[in-house]
Amino acid sequence: MRRPFVAGNWKMNTTAASGCELARAIAEAVPTSRDEVDVLVAPPLPYLDCVDDELAKSAVMLGAQNCYHEKEGAFTGEVSPQMLADLDVDYVILGHSERRHILGETDEDINKKVAAALEAGLGVILCVGETLEDREAGKTNDVLAQQLSGGLKGLTAEQLAGGTGGNDDLVLAYEPVWAIGTGKTATPEMAQEAHAFLRSKLAEGWGDDLAAATRIQYGGSVKPANAADLLAQPDIDGALVGGASLSAENFLPIVEAAFAQV
């Protein structure tokens, strides 16, 4: 049984004050006694520390939205996985489509970051997803297979599985680019098909055990109204939520939809 995992990606939004207020409201709804679902918020980097303070007495985990692949050195403006771990970050989101398409990250860049983050003891949420053009050209599976094998190149099933039940495993997020921030959601059936395909590729490359244990989140215009139907699909193990994670009013019903699955 895979533990459902709902993550909020705040992207480049909130202020220190509004981010802390949001974290506080989420933390109150998910106290330490409610740990059947993994819940995470990923604020902008400058707010990690103050958001972490708000989450202290809750089961909500802390996420980061990016990192660099080196430990330290002359890399102005970059942040290492070790620095994130130092700030109590549990998972780092890597390969998000905005980083691929706006910031120009390649599968090779992402692969180095995934390896470095796992090495530093962080969990990784690796995002993959096709553009509308890819989908219309019938290339969805090719793109997903390429992003998966490119992002995870050279990594073993042991590295991807993480350690002793800590938050240091690999999680995938299927995020069709055409559904991100557009209000268009993949139908539960479309998403299920892509998730099952990704799981089959994990099995092919890293074995059945890893494929069966790996959580695959769906992301792309998840909201309270569509969360339950998406989460009910057998291969959808959670959600990576952008816009709707920016208010407790929208994010908490999605979290509750995941609790309803267990």
**Which residues are known catalytic residues?**
96, 175
Q: Which residue is nearest to ligand PGA (CB)?
A: 242
- 3-state percent helix, strand, coil for the chain, nearest multiple of 5: 45, 15, 40
Q: How far is CA 214 from CA 170, 201, 260, in A?
A: 7, 12, 20
CB of 9 to ligand PGA, least distance (A): 4
Cβ at position 98, least distance to ligand PGA in Å: 7
Which region among 44-52, 70-78, 224-232, 238-246 touches ligand PGA (by CB under 6 A)? 238-246
Minimum distance from residue 226 beta carbon to ligand PGA (Å): 11
Which residues, 6 to 45, sit near ligand PGA by CB under 6 A? 9
The DSSP result for 235-252, as a single string, is T--EEEESGGGGSHHHHH
Residue 250 makes contact with ligand PGA by CB under 6 A: no
N- to C-terminal Cα distance for the chain?
Answer: 9
Closer CB to ligand PGA, 58 or 221, in the complex: 221
Choices 35-43, 65-73, 163-171, 237-245; region in contact with ligand PGA by CB under 6 A: 237-245
- Pair 92, 124: CB distance under 8 Å: yes
| Identity of the residue, 52 or 175, whose beta carbon is nearer to ligand PGA in the bound complex | 175
Stretch that binds ligand PGA, among 50-58, 162-170, 201-209, 219-227 (CB under 6 A): 219-227
Question: By CB under 6 A, what part of segment 158-217 binds ligand PGA?
Answer: 175, 180-181
Interface residue with ligand PGA among 243, 251, 252, 254 (CB under 6 A) is: 243
Q: Which one of 240, 248, 252, 254 is in contact with ligand PGA (CB under 6 A)?
A: 240
Do residues 239 and 254 touch, judged by C-beta distance below 8 A? yes
Contact (CB, 8 A) for 60 and 23: yes
Considering the complex, what minimum distance in angstroms separates the CB of residue 16 from ligand PGA?
A: 22
Question: What distance in Å separates the CA atoms of residue 233 and residue 125, rounded to the nearest whole number?
Answer: 20
62-88: b (≥16 Cβ within 10 Å) or e: bbbbbbbbeeeeeeeeebbbbbbbeee
Q: Which is nearer to ligand PGA, 22 or 244 (CB)?
A: 244
Among 219, 236, 251, 254, binds ligand PGA (CB under 6 A): 219
* Binding region for ligand PGA (CB under 6 A): 9, 175, 180-181, 219-222, 240-244
